[in-house]
Structure 1
Amino acid sequence: MRTTESRGPIVTKAGSFLHSLQVQGTQVVFYDRGSGPALVLIHGMFGDYLDWEPVLEPLARKHRVIALDLPGFGDSEKPHREYTGEFFVAALHELLQALGLERATLVGNSFGGILAVLYTLSHAQSVERLVLVSSGGLRTFGGKEKQLAVERLSEENLLALTPAVHRQMFASIFAKSGPAQERYFAKQDAKLARADYPAYARTLVSSIRLVLSTCLLERLGEVRCPTLLLWGDRDIVFPVEQARQALERLPQGELEVLPGGGHALQIDCPDEFVAALERFLERPAH
């Protein structure tokens, strides 16, 4: 067990790379493995640290990899509260401070990309580089779109989900099928049977409101660190055209498109994902 003076103990799960720590009054679970420059992986909506499972070990060969279950997600605590961008940013900052990380590269997928940009805008001095993987927050949603999303993903509807409907919901994030995708579906199905699923549903409703109300496109000019936009050419959730619009606004941005990749590149094409990320990290900052 490692300890910090101000935030209580960092509790380590025996025989694993999993730890937990209280931040913003919430017990947060995180994966911490490897040494070297720090990579902080931030999962997307409906996700947890296991969304990164296919790339955790390869990335940890050269880096210290930290992948958290955001507050309200995965095995982290799920308090009944409004999950705002400010709350997530504060929780992430407190976690990184507790781990002694003065600077790190943030890697955010989808909803996690929104949080990574918000964190960078608030704590630019703490971000070495930024990687946005099929990121949200790069478009506005019209009134009818918002209304439809709120209705479809209401707490009532989320609580009534069946495994079959669940699988149909998530099918669009993948461009391929195989064992990795099946493991993802099984993991999502298991969440429906958890005792904390009602609390998780509340988290989702609150977080969905955050996504629908957040467009960061016009603030990307404030992001001064080197930034990689990593997209799949078959992403139908946030099509690659959104990345091209973002690229025009980033002072130090670059775009890499992975052929055959969908919305969850780290699952669809993990080898290509790791290679693209390593190329970006090995290039000198300019």
Structure 2
Amino acid sequence: MTVISLKSARVREGLTLPYAEAGYPSGTPVVFVHGLADSWWSFEPLLRRLPPALHGYAPTQRGHGDAEHPPDGYTPDDFAADLVAFLDAAEIPRAVLAGASTGGIPARLVAGSHPDRIAGLVLLGVPGTLADKPVPDTWRQTLDGLTDPVPRAFVEEFVTGSTTTPLARGFVETMVEEGLKVPAHVWRETGRGLLDADLGATLAGILVPTLVIWGEQDRFLTRDDQQTLLDAVHGADFLAYENTGHPVHWEQPERVVADIAAFAARIARPGTP
């Protein structure tokens, strides 16, 4: 089992991000990007399963987990800028980005704007758009009503409400505790940033190799939504996991790691089946 090291990166004045690192120094760098209310712990099941071919990094984004909680800076563009600054601070010249859920939004922004730094892009249960879904108005109202301390029941529902396969209780408890570290203003501002953004525009200019992974039992993202990604990113590969819900990397960590490793190998050696 791969050893996970905990480190920190000062990405700019007044903002230090903790991150987990695992894998072999010679492996292909893969930077994992978590979604709303998660932290590096979201990728712990992947990091401890990394093969020798991969070297993983999982930063905790601003306002989340044990990262610093600035009063503002929670739009997708802000998170994308932090991600580029993290690559610099951690001295990662070029990497595969793997974004999960809403973490895929800043990941694809960076892939489109910094193709010199991004070898490939993996989208794990990432929305193509939110504009055509009934959730946004209800979600906005819910977030606007949040105050500190954020209720545990709210966080528990957020963590468990999207899964299809039962998860280990210890992992669920860890993710709930990480979600409880997120102040109400971060929930609100991050949610508003996602709802107000033109998510279609965040798909522009992506020319790097891309892999889209989606769970067929995803309660939030339909197959048509994922087609939005495939239509926007020329040549993107697509994998649909049967009997899997929204957090594909939680429910199928072994399979996700294997598919990312195969994807990274194809990038490094074009023509690899």
Q: TM-score range by the shorter chain?
A: 0.7 to 0.9
Quick one: structure 1 residues 166 and 97, their matched pair in 2 at CA, closer, same or farther if it must change by over 3 Å? closer
* Aligned counterpart in structure 2 of residue 171 of structure 1, from 145, 160, 180: 160
Secondary structure in 1 matching 2:161: helix
Counterpart of 2:227? 244
The one-character-per-residue Cα deviations of 1:2-60 (angstroms, maximum 9, x if unpaired) are xxxxxxxxxxxxx9611112213201101122222100000011100111111102225
Q: Which amino acid aligns with 2:177?
A: A
Q: After superposing the two structures, state which structure 1 stretch, 227-236 or 213-222, moved more.
A: 213-222
Counterpart of 1:18? 6
Q: How many residues align?
A: 264
Counterpart of 1:5? none
Counterpart of 1:269? 252
Residue 115 of structure 2 is aligned to residue 132 of structure 1: no
Is the CA contact (8 Å cut-off) linking 1:244 and 1:255 kept in structure 2? no
* Structure 2 Cα separation of the partners of residues 143 and 232 of structure 1: 18
* Structure 2 Cα separation of the partners of residues 89 and 218 of structure 1: 14
Counterpart of 1:10? none
Q: Which amino acid aligns with 2:139?
A: A
Q: Which amino acid aligns with 1:172?
A: G
Secondary structure in 2 matching 1:27: strand
Counterpart of 1:185? 172
The correspondence of residues 68-217 of structure 1 with structure 2, limited to 5 A, is 68-136=59-127, 138-141=128-131, 145-154=135-144, 156-159=145-148, 161-179=150-168, 182-191=169-178, 197=182, 200-217=183-200
* Structure 1 Cα separation of the partners of residues 68 and 40 of structure 2: 14
TM-score (norm. length: structure 1): 0.84
Distance apart, 1:204 and its partner CA: 1.6
Distance apart, 1:218 and its partner CA: 5.4
* Structure 1 Cα separation of the partners of residues 133 and 45 of structure 2: 37
Q: Which has the higher contact order (CA 8 A, sep 6+)?
A: 2
Distance apart, 1:67 and its partner CA: 0.3
Q: After superposing the two structures, state which structure 1 stretch, 156-165 or 39-48, moved more.
A: 156-165
* Aligned counterpart in structure 2 of residue 37 of structure 1, from 20, 28, 37: 28
* Structure 2 Cα separation of the partners of residues 127 and 201 of structure 1: 33
Is the CA contact (8 Å cut-off) linking 2:4 and 2:47 kept in structure 1? no
TM-score (norm. length: structure 2): 0.87
- Any gaps of 5 or more consecutive residues in structure 1? 1-14
Secondary structure in 1 matching 2:259: helix
> What is the RMSD of the two structures over their aligned residues, measured on CA atoms?
2.3
Distance apart, 1:274 and its partner CA: 1.5
* Structure 2 Cα separation of the partners of residues 243 and 83 of structure 1: 25
Percent identity of paired positions between Structure 1 and Structure 2: 23
Instruction: Show structure 1 runs of 4+ deviating over 4 A.
Output: 142-145, 191-194
Is the CA contact (8 Å cut-off) linking 1:43 and 1:112 kept in structure 2? yes
Is the CA contact (8 Å cut-off) linking 1:234 and 1:262 kept in structure 2? yes
